[in-house]
């Protein structure tokens, strides 16, 4: 082999680079739903309806009754790094919204065919727009105005079709539509606990019957009851603690009760996250108390000074970096442990699937 031969460094084509970046944000249909959910909550929606064809692999139709999008914003809606939520880097330190990078809708438009129908309050019309690769599809190509006026109701509907049509490898790596559907329901279940005042529903596009529905309710506890069952709520212990820089509160099952599968729901500043170290610590605490094969239900909601976390370490924002992580984990563990000890003193086991 000629040692001097080489593959020269070349810039990736922009659409290839964009598609690769999009694949890091959008992993599966449930990632689309999570991004849309967070946008809807940012837009003050109180009602969110999801309908899916083939578990979202073919079509995800997602409707909210939030603020809607101004027609003048449609041009930039799906452009990468275009957002209404962040203007300077320092804003990251005090952000009250989920979104900030303007990456979600762009990513979705790079790996699917995206239609948006939106209407603001007191507006006479709704607008419908088609996007591809971060841009409005040119009217000439569509043969009709884009965006175009249509009738509608206040709020925004996203129709995401043929997810990963241009990423054959990713498409192959997905699970069956039944399992992808399950991931989406699981996500909605968790968000409905954290956002009891939002009503969520999910159904198969071809059915009128809901597979999942939560009404607006008063409290997280009633939401847990609706979603995970009354028998769980009857066995919950409330935990809470705080320092000057963070506060947490949540519900955990007592030592006399267990599920056949563990259920961990962790929210930090309103966002669902994977929190491996906390999960491991809590699991090991319960494993010494629960019968073999029995697991807890855990819901913990942390509010922390945004300056102490970095939500930017994971493209899909599922993991975050905490400055005070050990302290939070240890405080919470001690608090759970103390409360569990009280429940252990009156033991009578019950395992529920």
Tell me the closest approach of the beta carbon of residue 310 to ligand ADP, in angstroms: 16
Residue 109 tokens read as 């438009």
Dist. CA 106–CA 131, nearest whole Å: 9
From the list 34, 13, 203, 15, the residue with the least C-alpha distance to 109 is 15
Question: Interface with Mg ion includes 104 (CB under 5 A)?
Answer: yes
Instruction: Please tell me whether residue 105 binds ligand ADP under the rule CB under 6 A.
Output: yes
Residues from 155 through 184 that contact Mg ion (CB under 5 A): none
Contact between 104 and ligand ADP by CB under 6 A: the answer reads: yes
Phi, psi (rounded to 5 degrees) for 314: -130, 130
Residue placing its CB nearer to Mg ion in the complex, 86 or 281:
86
- Which of 31, 39, 107, 133 touches Mg ion by CB under 5 A? 39
Contact partners, residue 234, CB within 8 Å, separation at least 6: none
- C-alpha distances in Å from residue 28, one per residue of 8, 25, 38, 252: 34, 9, 16, 30
Residue 153: is it exposed, middle or buried by C-beta count within 10 angstroms (0-12/13-18/19+)?
A: exposed
Kindly tell me which residue out of 156, 201, 254, 262 binds ligand ADP, with binding defined by CB under 6 A: 156
Per rule CB under 5 A, count of chain residues that contact Mg ion: 3
- Angle at the Cα of 185 from the Cα atoms of 184 and 189, rounded to 5 degrees: 120
Q: Which stretch binds ligand ADP (CB under 6 A): 36-44, 131-139, 251-259, 343-351?
A: 36-44
Report the half-sphere exposure of 71 (CA within 13 A, side-chain side). 13
Check residue 101 for interaction with ligand ADP (CB under 6 A).
yes
Helices 29-42, 177-194: inter-axial angle, 10-degree rounding:
20
Minimum CB distance to Mg ion smaller for 157 or for 258: 157
Stretch that binds ligand ADP, among 59-67, 166-174, 218-226, 260-268 (CB under 6 A): 59-67
262 binds ligand ADP (CB under 6 A): no
Q: Is 152 helix (H, G, I), strand (E, B) or coil?
A: coil
Query: Which one of ligand ADP, Mg ion, none interacts with residue 175, CB within 5 to 8 A by kind?
Result: none
Please choose which of ligand ADP, Mg ion, none residue 85 contacts, taking the beta carbon within 5 to 8 angstroms, the exact cut-off set by kind: ligand ADP
Find out whether 193 and 232 touch, Cβ atoms under 8 Å.
Answer: no
Output the smallest distance, CB 196 to Mg ion, in A: 22
The entry of ligand ADP, Mg ion, none that residue 335 binds, CB within 5 to 8 Å by partner kind = none
Angle at 266 between CA 260 and CA 272, to 5 degrees: 115
- Closest contact distance (angstroms) between CB of 294 and Mg ion is 38
Q: Please, which residue, 66 or 250, has the CB nearer to ligand ADP?
A: 66
For binding to Mg ion (CB under 5 A), which residues are involved?
Answer: 39, 99, 104
Residues lying near ligand ADP in the complex (CB under 6 A) are found at 35, 39-40, 43, 64, 66-69, 77, 83-85, 99-106, 156
């Amino acid at each position: 082999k000629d040692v001097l031969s080489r593959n020269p460094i070349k810039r990736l084509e922009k659409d290839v680079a964009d598609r690769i970046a999009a694949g890091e944000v959008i992993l599966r249909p449930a990632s689309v739903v999570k991004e849309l959910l967070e946008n809807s909550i940012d837009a003050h929606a109180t009602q969110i309806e999801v309908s899916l064809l083939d578990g979202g692999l073919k079509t995800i139709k997602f409707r909210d009754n939030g603020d809607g999008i101004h027609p003048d914003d449609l041009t930039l809606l799906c452009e990468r790094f275009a957002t209404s939520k962040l203007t300077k880097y320092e804003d990251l330190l005090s952000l009250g919204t989920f979104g900030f990078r303007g990456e979600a809708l762009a990513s979705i438009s790079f790996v699917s065919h995206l239609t948006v129908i939106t209407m603001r309050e007191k507006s006479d019309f709704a607008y419908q727009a088609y996007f591809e690769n971060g841009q409005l599809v040119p009217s000439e190509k569509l043969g009709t105005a884009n965006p175009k006026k249509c009738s509608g109701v206040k709020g925004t509907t996203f129709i995401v079709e043929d997810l990963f049509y241009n990423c054959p490898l990713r498409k192959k790596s997905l699970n069956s539509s039944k399992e992808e559907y399950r991931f989406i329901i699981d996500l909605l279940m968790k968000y409905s606990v954290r956002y009891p005042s939002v009503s969520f529903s999910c159904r198969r596009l071809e059915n009128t019957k809901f597979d999942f529905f939560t009404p607006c309710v008063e409290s997280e506890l009633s939401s847990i009851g609706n979603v995970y069952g009354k028998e769980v709520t009857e066995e919950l212990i409330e935990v809470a603690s705080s320092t000057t820089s963070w506060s947490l509160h949540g519900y955990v099952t007592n030592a006399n009760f267990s599920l056949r599968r563990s259920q961990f729901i962790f929210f930090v500043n309103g966002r669902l996250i994977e929190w491996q170290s906390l999960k491991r610590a809590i699991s090991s605490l319960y494993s010494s108390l629960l019968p073999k094969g029995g697991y807890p239900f855990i819901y913990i909601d942390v509010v922390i000074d945004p300056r102490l976390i970095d939500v930017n370490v994971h493209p899909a924002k599922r993991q975050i970096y905490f400055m005070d992580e050990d302290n939070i984990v240890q405080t919470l563990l001690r608090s759970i442990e103390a409360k569990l000890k009280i429940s252990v003193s009156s033991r009578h086991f019950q395992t529920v699937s």
